[in-house]
Amino acid sequence: MLLKPHFAPARLGQTNHTRSTERGVVLILTLFVLLITFALVTELTVSTSVAFQTTQNRANRIRMEMAVVAAADQFMEALIGDASGSGGSSGLEGMLGGMGGSDLGDLAGDVGFDSAVGGTDSLDDSFGEDGEEGEGQPDGSSADYLQDVWAKPMRIMVGDFEITIWAEDENGKFPLFQLVAGTEEEQEESRRRFARILDHMRADFDDDIDQHAGNLIVEDIVRYLKGDFIEMEMPRAPRFSDDPEAEMPLYLPYALEELMLLEHITEDLYYDQVRTDDLIAPGLESICTIYTTPGFEPPEEGSGTEQADEAAFGDDPAQDAATQDDALNQVESLLGGDAETESTASTPVGGLDDVLEGDPPLGLGINLNTAPQSVLEGLVPPFELSGSVIRQILEHRNEVDEAALESQDQEDGNRDLAELEQSLYGEQSTDPLQFFSSLDDLKNVDGYEMGASEEARQKFESLLSVQSDTFSVYATVRILPEGWEQETRYEEPLGPVLRLRTIVWRRGGAGETKLIPIQPWQEVPASRWKIPDFQYDLPLYEPPIW
């Protein structure tokens, strides 16, 4: 009898279920391996991408700084060339000559100037002979106005970077040191004057400053300049006297941004605000300044500096000469050359050489050609000089100069200069506008002599000038997105951007004009724009064609 194998159906189903379970576990483990591998690859990809982007951003920033150096060097040539007083063309000619056919992208160096090194601010109670109001009016040949090459935003391409650089006239703003200078009566008059300027600053906007808020701001600034907010028990800066009985008549802020430390001055009030419809609400940075009284104060007799010089160099000239000869002999023995023929130890070269013998600062006179509307409106009370007269002054400096336009059409232009101007400012060039070559030109303004008394006109003119020597230079460098086109007047593209500012004192002398940095290049949080006199009357924006 043959026995047949007996297969239990239940046991066969259990075996199939076990194999299916094993296959499911293998699939789950495989899925886990894939997920872990994907996570590792993603982490490596993200970390590598972040590291690459960080490195690229650092490299772009270094390249941007070098591009600003190259562009700023050419712009400073134009700023120095404009000091000759022959108009805006002289600045462009100086820039054209300074380029010398070299590629801007090849220029590199420290962000700064090689013509001079830093200066110091000095200011006495009466501002000295250099800062008297209404004195030392310049002649018309050296007037500075808003059509000079430094005042127009200049566009320079360096590789794939677009650089926009221009200068803002600090002499067109109200100097805050007037609030604490002079007699008590003069200080009170200056404070009322600045309060009126604050009242006019944003008169056309919803956040207008009323009289009470303006008085609080003026009071805060006065207390700050007098040092009331400084804790004198703390170690004082080296520029202050160590004598506990020394009187501290005035505190010299290092930067105007220090005003934001005060209670009633916020960032929205300090910075210009770009509003809708291509309007800019001016801030404190556009109407006041602390930089228009630079100078060099010589050390007093018997000061520590003089004693240190005597200790270092001695009193006997013969002994000093012998010491110098010994030093030269040592240099000759070390270098193996003739050190005496190459000695320049007794004759300083470069740097601040001959700067001390240059022209004095222009002082506190506000430039009539560059002052904002609110500054001009607040200089004298409205019952002495009405706002309609101020508007006539602004309209006068915005009218086309027919004589200059006719002369420009008749002259054969320099082709290289014309091509340079087109590349810097675009094809849409503006006609030459009128400006005040001297304060006597105010008589050409309609209604000026009839709209104010002689006393009011003298008071108004005593606060004004037509020349500038202190400038804030703004440079913005960015990488433009591909295919981006500007559609509004103050539109900015997204992408890497670097905004820098420096403040310079343009000082002339018997030799050449020098630019003395008051503040070195430093980064600023937002772009600065030129605020036109009549914002509501601007035509529709048309982008320039380069």
What pLDDT digit, counting tens, does each position of 347-379 carry? 444 455 566 667 777 878 999 999 999 999 999
Give CA–CA dist 207/284, Å, rounded: 13
Indicate the helix (H) or strand (E) that contains 154.
Answer: strand 154-158
pLDDT of residue 236: 56
The alpha-helical segments, DSSP class H, found in 336-426 are 373-378, 387-396, 402-410, 415-425
Cα four-point dihedral sign 524, 525, 528, 534: negative
pLDDT category, 24, cuts 50, 70, 90?
confident
- Whether 461 and 439 have beta carbons less than 8 Å apart is answered as yes
Closest CA to 371 of 453, 439, 311, 303: 439
pLDDT category, 139, cuts 50, 70, 90?
very low
Closest CA to 56 of 46, 64, 67, 44: 64
Q: Which residues contact 389 (CB under 8 A, 6 or more apart)?
A: 445, 447, 448, 451, 452
The alpha-helical segments, DSSP class H, found in 280-401 are 304-313, 317-335, 373-378, 387-396
Average pLDDT over residues 205-218: 93
pLDDT at 492 over 60: yes
pLDDT top residue among 107 and 166: 166
pLDDT of residue 331: 38
pLDDT of residue 413: 58
Q: Which two tokens stand for residue 106?
A: 């090849």
Residues 77-110: b if buried by 16+ CB within 10 A, e if exposed: bbbbbbbebebbbbbbbbbbebeeeeebeebeee
Least confident interval from 320-324, 360-364, 431-435, 450-454? 320-324
Least confident interval from 260-274, 419-433, 499-513? 419-433
pLDDT of residue 8: 52
pLDDT category, 403, cuts 50, 70, 90?
confident
- Crossing angle between the packed helical segments 88-99 and 415-425, to the nearest 10 degrees: 100
Three-class secondary structure assignment of 477-504: EEECCCCCCCCCCCCCCCCCEEEEEEEE
Q: What's the predicted TM-score (pTM) here?
A: 0.74
Provide φ and ψ at 359, rounded to 5°.
-65, 145
pLDDT at 126 over 60: no
Listed by start position, the domains of the chain span 54-234+248-297+350-379+463-536
Average pLDDT over residues 106-134: 35
pLDDT of residue 364: 85
Query: pLDDT tens digits for 141-152?
Result: 578 998 898 998
Average per-residue pLDDT in the chain?
76
pLDDT top residue among 437 and 88: 437
Average pLDDT over residues 3-10: 54
- How buried is 66 (Cβ within 10 angstroms: 0-12 exposed, 13-18 middle, 19+ buried)? buried
pLDDT category, 281, cuts 50, 70, 90?
very high
pLDDT category, 525, cuts 50, 70, 90?
very high
Least confident interval from 187-191, 286-290, 359-363, 442-446? 359-363
Indicate the pairing of strand 464-465 with strand 366-367.
parallel
